[in-house]
Amino acid sequence: MSGSTTGPALPDFPWDSLADHTATARSHPDGVVDLSVGTPVDPVPELIRDALAAVSDQPGYPTTHGTPELRQAAVDAMDRRFGVRGLDPVAVLPTIGSKELVAWLPTLLGVRGGDLVAIPELAYPTYEVGALLAGAEVARVEGLTALGPRRPALLWLNSPSNPTGRVLPIEHLRKVVDWARERGTIIASDECYLSLTWDSSAVSILDPRVSGGSTEGLLAVHSLSKSSSLAGYRAGFVTGDPVLVKRLLEIRKHAGMIVPRPVQSAMTAALRDDQHVVEQRARYEARRKVLREAVLGAGFRVDHSEAGLYLWATRDEDAWDTVAWLASRGILAAPGTFYGPKGGKHVRMALTATDERIAAAAARLTA
Ligand SMILES: Cc1ncc(COP(=O)(O)O)c(C=O)c1O
């Protein structure tokens, strides 16, 4: 843990601990295949770049709430892509990518010391960081029964999951929503991999079969980083319960948490077009097929991974041994422990490398 005299103690940044394995993997004569982070590598679609460039002359401040066109485009995309009907554009709030929202959501919602934030047992590290920044307690839970009578102020869901690629079925999500509403717990559902499903389909927390047709107590957190290869633009939005979104908007206005105006236009173009999402999805699907076959061929087991951008793989040994074995072949993967103590026997391999690098990884795995 690293701390300071004034701030909360935060975990060490996990990727720093990969340095030795990175050096080993980089020394491979044919170069490293870095599958340790999920950073997109494909070109930003032209229609999005054009939309960004068309509004480069912007001397004035943008609005924190985003342009009406952007909010309407988000509402329409939620309807077309995920069957979420009838959202009010007022309840859409653009974010500077979704990581900052994940990190600050508990604080912005007024979660404080003494409160509890529940996160998945194996989870994107920033859920924990956000709870710690708010001074709250964190509980990693596999099932809600583990919480007993406790009432979390906030519960994070992430389906499809990073790192496991697991998808939560509709009936399960519906039960979680009922459970949370009975206790006054806010649900934040991180849906950044919702359009990247392979062996099963995933639904939004705002799907009427899950939400019962009401947004009460629910927030859906969306990112354009993966679906539109826009990680470099920092583009996301949150939508759901209008009362909660209004609260977030008020604080974000005061705090200057504003998406730059050219990015707002780029997001509008991206949300209006589904074709580039379909094309990007196909690229990842092809890479997944190649990498998965090679990983299985090398004697790994792949658990879950039915959706999302990662293979959650194991050789039933300590994750760091697997990381070392892969690094000696010039392949860098993340140990499962980055995502929680229960990840000690898995590694996470990202599909976000070029076709050429994925083919190189496959060749090295099966040599
Ligand atoms: C589960 C999850 N949530 C949120 C993010 C943050 O994405 P961004 O800040 O690019 O929107 C990521 C990034 O990998 C992620 O895996």
CATH number at residue 242: 3.40.640.10
**Residue 349: is its pLDDT beyond 70?**
yes
pLDDT of residue 292: 98
Distance in Å, CA 193 to ligand 1 centroid: 9
pLDDT tens sequence across 303-318: 999 999 999 999 999 9
Apex 235 CA angle, 226 and 7, nearest 5:
105
Same domain (yes/no): 81, 139: yes
Please indicate, yes or no, if residue 4 is contained in any of the structural domains.
no
**pTM of structure:** 0.97
Residue 353: give the domain boundaries.
14-43+276-366
Domain end (from 273, 293, 324): 273
Return the best residue to mutate from 36, 124, 166, 230 for the ligand 1 pocket (most ligand atoms within 8 A of CB).
124
Partners of residue 312 on adjacent β-strands: 303, 348
Residue 113: how many other CB atoms lie within 10 Å: 9
Q: Which pLDDT score, from 0 to 100, does residue 204 have?
A: 98
Which of 273, 294, 325 is the last residue in one of the domains?
273
- Supply the residue whose CA is at minimum distance from atom 12 of ligand 1: 99
Whether 198 and 214 have beta carbons less than 8 Å apart is answered as no
For 24, the token pair is 């080993």
Determine contact, residues 209/174, Cβ cutoff 8 Å. Answer: yes
Residue of 207, 201, 196, 139 lying closest to 173 (CA atoms): 207
For every residue of 136-192, DSSP letters joined together read -EEEEESSGGGGTT---SEEEE-SSPTTT-----HHHHHHHHHHHHHHTPEEEEE-T
For range 114-133, the mean pLDDT: 97
From the CA of 98, how far away is ligand 1's center (Å)? 6
Please check whether residues 190 and 62 belong to one and the same domain: yes
Is residue 131 domain-shared with residue 217, that is, in the same domain?
Answer: yes
Distance CA 66, CA 263 (A): 10
Q: Which of 15, 41, 102 to mutate to test the pocket of ligand 1 (most atoms within 8 A of CB)?
A: 102
Distance 197 CA to ligand 1 centre (A): 16
Using DSSP bridges, classify how beta strands 186-190 and 154-157 pair: parallel, antiparallel or unpaired. parallel
d(CA 3, CA 208): 43
Q: With the CA atoms of 332, 333, 338 and 339 taken in that order, what torsion angle do they form, in degrees rounded to the nearest 10?
A: 160
- Residue 93: pLDDT band by 50, 70, 90 thresholds? very high
Best residue among 39, 223, 224 to mutate for probing ligand 1's pocket (most ligand atoms within 8 Å of CB) is 223
pLDDT for position 15: 82
User: What rounded mean pLDDT belongs to the chain?
Assistant: 96
Say if residue 33 is in the same domain as residue 168.
no
Inside any domain, residue 163: yes
Residue-level pLDDT at 299: 97
The dihedrals phi and psi of 42, each to the nearest 5 degrees, come to: -85, 155
Based on the fold, state whether residues 205 and 308 are members of the same structural domain: no
**Same domain membership, residue 119 and residue 166:** yes
| CA distance linking residue 163 with residue 293, whole number of Å | 19
Would you call 195 helix, strand, or coil by DSSP? coil
* One domain, residues 211 and 335: no
pLDDT at 2 over 60: no
Q: Are residues 344 and 240 in the same domain?
A: no
- Looking at the domain assignment, is residue 107 inside a domain? yes
Nearest alpha-carbon partner for 290 in 38, 280, 298? 298
Q: What angle do CA 324, 326, 329 make, to 5 degrees?
A: 110
Average pLDDT over residues 316-335: 98
Q: Is the pLDDT of residue 4 over 70?
A: no
Pocket of ligand 1 (CB under 6 A): 38, 97-99, 102, 124, 158, 162, 190, 192, 223, 225, 231, 236
User: What's the gap in Å between 38 CA and the centre of ligand 1?
Assistant: 9
CATH number, residue 21: 3.90.1150.10
Nearest to 3 by CA among 115, 178, 135, 117: 135
Contact 202, 238 (CB under 8 A): no
Q: Is residue 309 part of a domain?
A: yes
For residue 142, which phi and psi values (nearest 5 degrees)?
-85, -45
Atom of ligand 1 nearest to the CA of 102: 4
Instruction: Identify the domain boundary among 248, 273, 298.
Output: 273
- 247, 131: one domain: yes
Give residue 271 CA to ligand 1 midpoint distance, Å. 17
Tokens of 160: 């499809």
Q: State yes or no: pLDDT of 362 exceeds 70.
A: yes
Q: Which of 9-18, 189-198, 247-256, 300-309 has the lowest mean pLDDT?
A: 9-18
Please check whether residue 339 lies inside any domain of the structure.
Answer: yes
CA of 100 to the centre of ligand 1 (A): 9
Check residue 329 and report its DSSP letter: T
- 208 lies in the same domain as 291: no
pLDDT tier, 13 (very low <50, low <70, confident <90, very high otherwise): confident
What is the rounded CA–CA span in Å between residue 127 and residue 242?
22
Q: Give, for 68, the enclosing helix (H) or strand (E).
A: helix 68-82
Does residue 232 share a domain with residue 191? yes
Exposure letters 193-206 (e unless 16+ CB within 10 A, then b): bbbbbbeeebbbbb
366 C-alpha to ligand 1 centroid (Å): 31
Q: How many domains does the chain have?
A: 2
Query: Is there a single domain that holds both residue 201 and residue 304?
Result: no
Burial of 124 (C-beta count, 10 Å sphere; 0-12/13-18/19+): buried
Give the residue, 331 or 148, on which the prediction is more confident: 331
Let me know if residue 7 belongs to a domain: no
In this prediction, residue 5 has a pLDDT band, given cuts at 50, 70 and 90, of low
Question: 240: part of which helix (H) or strand (E)?
Answer: strand 236-240
Inside any domain, residue 315: yes
| pLDDT surpassing 90 at residue 14 | no
Over residues 309-329, the mean pLDDT reads: 98
Ligand 1 centroid to residue 99 C-alpha, Å: 5
9 assigned to some structural domain? no
In the structure, what pLDDT confidence band is assigned to residue 338 with cuts at 50, 70 and 90?
very high
In ligand 1, the atom with minimum distance to the C-alpha of 95 is 11
